[in-house]
Structure 1
Amino acid sequence: MTLRPNHLFSDSILKHVLPCASCHERKDHGEGLGLRRADPVRLREIFEKYATVNEDGELYMKADVFVRDYLGLHKDEDYNPNAVKLIAGVVDTSKDGLVSFMEFQAFEALLCSPDALYRTAFQMFDTHGNGVVSFQEFSDVIKKTELYQKVPFNLDSDLVKLYFGKEKNKLVSFAEFSQFLHDYHEEHAVQAFKRSDKKEVGFISALDFYNIMVSVKSHLLTPCVKDNLVAVAGGQQVSFPFFVAFNSLLGNMELAKRVFLNATGNDKTADVSREDFIRSAQMMSQITPLEIDILFKLVQLTQQDTRMQFSDLESMTPEQYMKKITSFTLTEVKAVSSPEERGVMIEVLESAYRFTLGAIAGSVGATAVYPIDLVKTRLQNQRSVSFIGELMYKNSWDCLKKVIRHEGFVGLYRGLVPQLVGVAPEKAIKLTMNDFVRDKFTDHKTKKIALSAEMFAGGCAGGSQVVFTNPLEIVKIRLQVAGELASTSQISAVQVLKELGFFGLYKGARACFLRDIPFSAIYFPVYAHSKKKLSDENGYNSPWTLLVAGAIGGVPAASLTTPADVIKTRLQVAARAGQTTYSGVFDAAKKIWKEEGFGAFWKGAPARVLRSSPQFGVTLLTYEVLQRAFYVDFGGMRPEGSELSLSLPEHSTQARATNPDHIGGFKAAIPILSGIESKFGLVLPKFSHRTADHPN
């Protein structure tokens, strides 16, 4: 097939952006956004799926099919054909309404480039496909945007003449046009100010200021800034210097962040006074005193504080939306399309990574709730028929008080050392196994997993941990109940190990399986679904929601498996003189029922829930926060809800591609098209009837 004439995709450029015929996976291309180029064979299969036009034996995709069916944009019946045509023009470089496979493949390569956002915007204006933009092309496109229809731009301004020449016959290259897009929006704002300043006194009303900002600079306004536009102006007239400084500040927020970090020694948790910020600004930037005044006034309005925190700057930073789109591109899109493509060594490394983080998380969680676990164990070991004639503990609170009174605060942590030694591999293998099995059963295109598969993954996780859990718990339990004895001699973990021997460490293992498999089969699915329910509108989970989701999962899992835990405890604790002994799981269950009744199986249930619920909340919170802080991309799946994102503008296209046919660079197509709206304010009317309000 012969590519239609196109300056942008000349032979030299095509050699750079397109893979060679024998290469099915080029890793040396697309490094800019971290995108892996699509397999050309798979790309052609997808192209032919949507290509419905056959000309001289060659297949072509209709331009509107590319936008509406493949990208999934402007699917409404009353869609704007002009908007669809402009979007299609970024790939249809021959401008004939048809997309060839070569054009389709070349655009996929362009989307992998580091400056894909600017190049895509440029191609939208390059309506003739000759690699330059004329004044007429710029004028035709800009008149179709919502911004121009709301606030007309003087196309005969000095700025336009400086770029396109006095006669407007100069052709502008990609690099020059990128700069022009920036200057155009600054000039648009200035023109809007002059139009409102009818008396030419250098002032406009606060209401005019608000209207200009939400019309011309809406793509730069975060919610907290937009809500305080009138207040920051003092509710009075706004001078031109204030107007310029305000817009300059919005463009300098990243610089303001560096000034802040310079003032605090890179401490994002500190706060800064206006004076300290000014001193830092004078040392390293060109942020003016007026811009600083506006900045601190915004802080005072939004936070009711005279000192500024780093989070204040983040909440005001324009283009933050685009950064999150880039973050999505670098993380989700970066993964290979199928985990099966990864080598065994990569999966081993990923499991080792998860194991390490799981060990740390497990230790943190166990330490946080160990006193509750000690109380739970002593209550479960307490027999209704006591050999001393009365119950030692009335309830959990009574047990806690007596432990502190007779054994001191340190008594609450009896057996903690062997617990930490064992809990690290126990929780690590549990978390790792659950993630591993979930990965295998998850549809990586839709990222969905069946509930039965979730329960199976949890069950596998629970069963796999018993090899560590049983020895750990039998030593821990015997140390925990040792404090009940009146003997002055202290029993140690080493003594317990010598007494039990290797096989003794697995006493009660059946009961341990009976408890841990259903516990994890219940816990992990409940946790996963609780996370989704508690996530924000963009699917992100804050640390607080992770803690709550983990705690919620522990309630049904811990309570429903209490009978198995009681049996396990009775089997593992050494019986004292006069106490009933048990030969196995069924023997213990039968004797407990006969001697103590059905209620005995639920002894310590409240303490067990109070321990397991916060423990797993802290453990899963730590585990996921560690994965976020020390993220390593192994090409697998990240925990759901890990990506922080901001709400998209109401007019914006959807930021995340959901079509499984969006492979390679096309995974970033929708984010980049949305970024054009966010970065440059080039919003195209969605519906056709809106074009009737054209200001011309």
Structure 2
Amino acid sequence: MDRVDLLSKAFCQEQGGGFLRRANETQLRDIFNRYASVEQNGEKYMTAEDFVIRYLRILDEKNYNADTVRLLGSIVDTSKDGLISYAEFQAFEGLLCFPDALYKTAFQLFDTNGNGMVSFQEFAEVIQKTELHRKIPFNLNSPFVQLYFGKDKSRLVSYSEFSQFLHDFHEEYAIEGFRRADKNGTGFISILDFQEIMSSIKSHLLTSQVQSHLIEAAQISQGGGSRVSFPYFIAFNSLLNNMELAKRIYLNVTNGHRTQEVSKEEFMHSAQAMSQMTPLEVDILFHLCDVLHQTGRIVYNDLYAIAPEQYFKQITNRLAEIHAVSSPEDRGVLIQILESTYRFSLGSIAGAVGATAVYPIDLVKTRMQNQRTGSFIGELMYRNSIDCFKKVIRHEGIFGLYRGLVPQLMGVAPEKAIKLTVNDFVRDKLMSKNGNIPLWGEVLSGGCAGASQVIFTNPLEIVKIRLQVAGEIAGGAKVRAWTVVKDLGFFGLYKGAKACWLRDIPFSAIYFPGYAHAKEKFADENGYNSPFSLFAAGLIAGVPAAGLCTPADVIKTRLQVVARAGQTTYSGLLDAARKIYKEEGFSAFWKGSVARVFRSSPQFGVTLVTYELLQRYLYVDFGGTRPTGSEVKQVSHLGDVKKPNPDHIGGYSVSLPIFSGIETKFGLCLPKFSVPQS
């Protein structure tokens, strides 16, 4: 057993259930063999291209920089023979599981000869290939470099020492950039130079909002001048490096509340009490927030807008995803019950918001569907949905549009809650260990959600419908919800339940997969969904779901409404379908389809965006899944892949954020694409 295999075995014994579970060896061997393209003496090997391009998928397979692939591949290729053995592949999987995996991976990038130490020559070879060095060359003869590698640069640096060097190097790089711009040694640089340095050296710490307002913020902070002082430059960088601290200071002021506005004086008092931020850093923070929002005070979201998600947050999120999809059985029954209760509560709120938003459209839809032709003599009450809307307001007032809303809200809250909860629950159970769910699983989850809601939907619908059509009878007695319930009795509340199932099961089976895929399409390049994209996904998914299920909705309405004199009565689902077709024709099954689409699509759009935003901002970690696209994820040049390869198991489950972390933590961006030769 060679050195790297011994390392991997030792790690298994040492870690146990620590940072991350190791992959099953048989499974890992199968994955390795799938990507290994070279065979020598009966053994398979990966090339650097196999590992970086095909397995990690972090560079374009058609146009990539060969030096970048070689350097990244050498991180795993500890023997430095140009090939990656299974033992090396397995050992690197173990290395990724260590808590300091980012530093260990970066160290192996620079340890180009594999002797466990980094020389100045190795450091210079790698750093000179980075895009940053090509743009702003670093002085490799600086006193900073000499302090680590010696004046004659002959000193070899160990892993622990090199990790400290990397930590300090990027800060020194920023200072080096300032020195280069301050040619006369005045202690000032121009605002344009400041923008160039920050955009080049510190781009990984800048959100797009901050980057677009750098000059404006600097001008305000510097009293409207055209220069930036060195103290301001250092404080600005220190602030960006310590935004997590700024968030803690804010939460200390507000006692954990995230929506409370905080003044500069309140923040300053807390910052000084914690002895962690200088007054200049606080000034810069409030200047940035004022440029972005112009309120003079800050809330938690302002801090989030300034600070992008960092490497360690990406790791935390990825570990949460892994835990949720790979070992749900590890969570106790009580935890799963609490998670379902939490989702049920948020679903209730979301359902009530969605129902209220579109209730007038629902009332119009119901009255249009109940309007008979063929069996009732007389002029049609409503010519179309718009005419119905106008007449309700004219004869019943604006509140007539909300007739039956109270019982609707009493029922729609648990109805939508159980629907959303069951869909999430079944999806969780049908997810593979890699977090994927097949289309049939999405359809089945939606169907189960639709079936489960009928226990709430049918009583709700029958009471709501009878209240909605009651206003059509001029001078009729006022109908109350309790009277309808008492007249129907328990079993009467489930009249038309078969039609309700016929409508709700296919609706949800169409809607939820459609919503999931539309949401994925509308996500930005970082996989993040804005509230608008969530609403648009819900709106679009609702069109086919609501439209195609209209015939079942018409039959259900006819079964649940009390027939008036001269109107046809129905004995059941098939009888209703037969009589409607015979008396009114095929088109009758599509009555109110436009109103239904205009009601259901926005209702579910509002409901789903509310549900997901509630989970986003009121997130409680039960170890399960959360809606995808819920958090802003900063994706680096190397890691601009929306989804990890399903074959990334064990330590490789966090390989993408760790590889991107080399860039986002240390600014070591290697060129992605090949450079055309002149």
Alignment counterpart, residue 401 of structure 1, candidates 389, 393, 402: 393
Q: 2:135 matched to 1:150?
A: yes
Q: Distance in 1 between matches of 2:265 and 2:331?
A: 54
Change in Cα spacing, 1:114 to 1:404, as seen in structure 2 (3 Å) is farther
Residues of 1 paired with 2:494 and 2:358: CA distance? 24
Offset of residue 180 of structure 1: 1.6
1:43 alignment partner in structure 2: 28
Measure how far apart 1:45 and its partner are: 2.2
2:653 is aligned to 667
Preserved contact between residue 411 and residue 483 of structure 1 (Cα < 8 Å): no
- Aligned residue for 1:333, secondary structure, equals helix
What letter is aligned with 1:362? G
Equivalent residues in 2 for 1:276-675 (5 A)? 276-317=266-307, 320-323=309-312, 325-336=314-325, 357-383=346-372, 395-401=387-393, 404-405=396-397, 409=399, 412-414=402-404, 416-417=406-407, 419-420=408-409, 422-435=411-424, 447=436, 449-450=438-439, 458-482=446-470, 486=475, 491-493=480-482, 495-589=483-577, 591-592=579-580, 601-628=589-616, 629-632=618-621, 638-646=626-634, 648-649=635-636, 651-656=637-642, 658-675=644-661
**Residues 132 and 513 from structure 1, CA distance in 2 versus in 1: closer, same or farther, beyond 3 angstroms?**
same
Q: 1:560 to 1:102 in 2, by over 3 A?
A: closer
Cα distance in 2 between the residues matched to 1:468 and 1:79: 56
Letter in 1 for 2:633: S
| Aligned-CA RMSD value | 4.1
For structure 1, the 5+ residue unaligned runs are: 21-25
Residues 209 and 437 of structure 1, relative CA distance in 2, 3 Å threshold: closer
Q: Distance in 2 between matches of 1:461 and 1:3?
A: 53
Give the equivalent residue in structure 1 for 2:258.
268
Partner of 2:222: none
Is residue 681 of structure 1 aligned with residue 667 of structure 2?
yes
Which residue of the partner structure matches residue 75 of structure 2?
A: 90
Q: From 89, 96, 118, give the equivalent of 1:104.
A: 89
Distance (whole Å) between structure 1 residues aligned to residue 257 and residue 238 of structure 2: 25
What residue in structure 1 maps to residue 2 of structure 2? 2
Deviation at 1:305, TM superposition (A): 4.7
User: In 1, Cα distance between the equivalents of 2:290 and 2:124?
Assistant: 42
Which residue of 1 is the match for residue 236 of structure 2?
Answer: 246
> Do the aligned partners of residues 611 and 174 (structure 1) sit closer, same or farther apart at CA in structure 2, a change above 3 Å counting?
same
Assess, with a 3 A threshold, how the Cα gap between structure 1 residues 136 and 632 changes in structure 2: closer, same or farther.
same
For residues 307 and 264 of structure 1, the distance between their equivalents in structure 2, rounded to whole angstroms, comes to 13
Aligned with 2:323: secondary structure? coil
Give the corresponding residue for 1:202: 187
Kept in 2: contact 1:259–1:285 (CA 8 A): no
Query: Does the residue aligned with 2:75 lie in a helix, a strand or coil?
Result: coil
Residues 355 and 167 of structure 1: CA distance in aligned 2, closer, same or farther (over 3 Å): same
Q: Is the 8 A contact 1:147 1:216 kept in 2?
A: yes
Change (3 A) 1:301 1:392: same
- 1:28 and 2:17 aligned: yes
Deviation at 1:571, TM superposition (A): 1.9
Q: Following the alignment from structure 1 to structure 2, what is the Cα–Cα distance between the partners of residues 271 and 410? A: 40
C-alpha distance 424-179 of structure 1, shift in aligned 2 (>3 A): same
Task: Provide structure 2 residue ranges, at least 5 long, that are not aligned to the other structure.
Answer: 220-224
Cα distance between partner residues in 1 of 2:393 and 2:13: 72
Contact 1:403/1:411, CA 8 A, preserved across alignment: no
The 5 A counterparts of 1:107-256 are 107-234=92-219, 236-256=226-246
CA 1:560/1:539 → structure 2, altered by over 3 Å: closer, same or farther? Answer: same
Partner secondary structure for residue 662 of structure 1? coil
Aligned residues: 668
Amino acid corresponding to residue 548 of structure 1 in structure 2: A
For 2:202 and 2:72, the matched residues in 1 are separated by 22
Q: How far is the alpha carbon of 1:594 from its aligned partner?
A: 6.3
Q: Offset at 1:680?
A: 0.5
Report the alpha carbon displacement of residue 195 of structure 1 after superposing the two structures with TM: 2.8
Cα distance in 1, alignment partners of residues 127 and 642 from structure 2 = 26
Q: Given the superposition, is the C-alpha separation of residues 224 and 381 from structure 1 closer, same or farther in structure 2, using an over 3 Å criterion? A: closer
User: Partners of 2:236 and 2:176 in 1: how far apart?
Assistant: 16
CA distances 1:515-541 after superposition (whole Å, capped 9, x unpaired): 334433443344334323433233322
1:115 is displaced (CA, Å) by 1.7
* 8 A Cα contact 1:415 1:480, kept in partner: no
- Distance 1:396-1:530 versus aligned 2 partners, 3 A rule: farther
Q: Give 3-state SS (helix, strand or coil) of 1:204's partner.
A: strand
CA distance in 2, matches of 1:90, 1:561: 56
Q: Distance in 1 between matches of 2:261 and 2:24?
A: 49
Distance in 2 (alpha carbons) for counterparts of 1:476 and 1:488 = 16
